[in-house]
Amino acid sequence: MNSTLIAIKTIMIFVIFLLFFMPLTGLAGTFVKVQELKNTFKYGVLQISASEDGRYAFIEDGNQVFWLMNSIQPLTLHNIFDDKQNSPPFEKKPVKAQWHDKYIIFLYYEKTEFYNVQNQKIERHYPLRLTKFNGQMLWSEKHQRFIIDTKVFTLDSDIEKNPDQHGHADQTGLLMTKNGDDYITSGRHDQSIMRWTLPDGKLKKTWRLGKWYASRKVSDIALIDNQLVVATNNGEIHARSIDDGSVLWSASPCSSFFSSESPHFMLNGSVRLKNKSVHHNKLIFYRCQSTKPNYGFIEKQGNDWKLEKITLPSTGNASLERMYYLDSLNKAILGLDDGQVLLYDLKNKNIDQIIVPKSEEGNGPALFAYLKADKLLVVVNDKTVDIYQYQ
């Protein structure tokens, strides 16, 4: 009898434990809405991006209005140029902007400025006029140089360092090597990869993938663990040596017996708004560019590579436009063009959470930035900002 009573008591304690603690564990590993900011934007959001340290979000409103958000809660939006001291009322606003470390680089028609997000001040002014160039841009802190397309510029002049050098026929990629002493570019129609040296922008090596009439036109490039990853129009993705360009691994995730589609890489940003190629230590997501796109990622595991396809169940015809990789969780935040924001488990290949449901209109991609320092997800639309925290 005593043993029976002990068994019953044990079962009751276990049931009570489940009743009290299951809801708590059920909430673990999800994004919970913690804040909402309304009626913020007047002209419609064009882009949002996070700083490299994951503590700040930069939002570009329409009509050249720029906002800064710090991850310190409660979150607030700061209009970057509202409190700019000693500026005349007729001063023109910048036409382009992008992150670099703790700075947002603003490009005007007549100058270039570096805005420090930590003290919210313009710290550097240069007469460099880069807005007349419409290409992909990188800034080299190490060598104090701007790279636009294949060309290099100093801080005090918009005159090219090597004006006679040849560029690409339709450039598709620009990235910096890990040591910061070289940069790599790619061209679609000339089907070539070029490696250049800093600070002078001299051509070091050229790897040509095919002839003009061939189908191996380069659609995108990336660096993973100091290996060059190349996507081509015939549906292939292959890893190449950064030293001699030899092929180390290849796959054809975007090709079939009947057709081939151009792969494009995406990591912590969107395909449409991406202004430079991707640099990462572990993996990269790809999108097969077609009317019915499919997606996946390639991951470097030691000396080997692994290719995985991503399925998006119950999303209708919505396509993936934006993503962010959560390294420590092996999950990704996905933004679809119908307004949905999803938490996707890469290992189990399933949707863990619908963070933001489909918008009422059912169109328009969800724009978001992930502030990794505090596990905050900032989702914006034309009028509001919703903040979620991973718990």
The first and second tokens of residue 175, run together, are 């990235």
CA 380 to chain centre: 16
Residue 273 has pLDDT above 90, yes or no: no
Report which of residues 13 and 165 the model is more confident about: 165
Q: In terms of Cα–Cα distance, which of 80, 81, 114 is closest to 100?
A: 114
Output phi, psi for 150, to 5 deg: -105, -5
The answer, yes or no, to whether residue 100 has pLDDT greater than 90, is no
Say whether pLDDT at 27 is over 50.
no
The predicted structure's pLDDT at residue 266: 86
| DSSP bridge pairs for 335 | 322, 341
pLDDT class for 353, splitting at 50, 70, 90? very high
268: pLDDT confidence band, cut at 50, 70 and 90?
confident
pLDDT-based confidence at residue 238 (cuts at 50, 70, 90): very high
Q: Is the pLDDT of residue 389 over 70?
A: yes
Phi first, then psi, for residue 296 (nearest 5°) are 180, -170
Q: Give the CA distances from residue 173 to residues 108, 191, 268, 335, in Å, rounded to whole numbers and listed in that order.
A: 24, 12, 16, 23
For residues 10-29, average pLDDT:
46
379 and 371 Cβ atoms separated by less than 8 Å? no
Q: Which residue has the higher pLDDT, 21 or 131?
A: 131
Average pLDDT over residues 335-358: 91
- pLDDT at residue 288 greater than cutoff 80: yes
pLDDT exceeds cutoff 70 at 315: no
Q: Which two tokens stand for residue 178?
A: 């890990």
Tell whether the model's pLDDT for residue 308 goes beyond 80: yes
Q: Which residue has the higher pLDDT, 121 or 260?
A: 121
CB count in 10 Å sphere of residue 375: 17
Closest CA to 63 of 89, 95, 109: 95
- Tell me what pLDDT residue 313 has: 67
* 77-79 β-sheet, strand order: 45-50, 56-61, 65-70, 77-79
Strand order in the sheet with 237-240: 247-251, 237-240, 227-232, 218-224, 278-280
Whether pLDDT at 318 is above 70: yes
At 331, list the tokens: 């999950």
Place 82 in a pLDDT band, splitting at 50, 70 and 90: confident
Burial of 52 (0-12, 13-18, 19+ CB in 10 A): exposed
CA distance 384 to 37: 6
Q: Is the per-residue pLDDT at 344 higher than 90?
A: yes
Instruction: Report, as an integer, the average pLDDT of 236-244.
Output: 92
pTM for this entry: 0.84
Single-letter amino acid, residue 285 = F
Q: So what's the pLDDT on residue 262?
A: 86
pLDDT value at residue 115: 94
* Residue 304 one-letter amino acid: D
State the average pLDDT for the chain. 83
Query: What per-residue confidence (pLDDT) applies to 21?
Result: 43
Contact 332, 348 (CB under 8 A): no
Among 200-214, 228-242, 267-281, the minimum mean pLDDT is found in 267-281
Q: Does 272 have pLDDT greater than 90?
A: no
Average pLDDT over residues 48-72: 90
User: Which pLDDT belongs to residue 303?
Assistant: 85
CA–CA distance, 149 with 131 (Å, rounded to integer) = 13
| CB half-sphere exposure, 257, CA atoms < 13 A | 0
Please say if the pLDDT value at position 51 is more than 80: yes
Q: How confident is the model at residue 20, as a pLDDT? A: 43
Residue 217 pLDDT level (bands cut at 50, 70, 90): confident
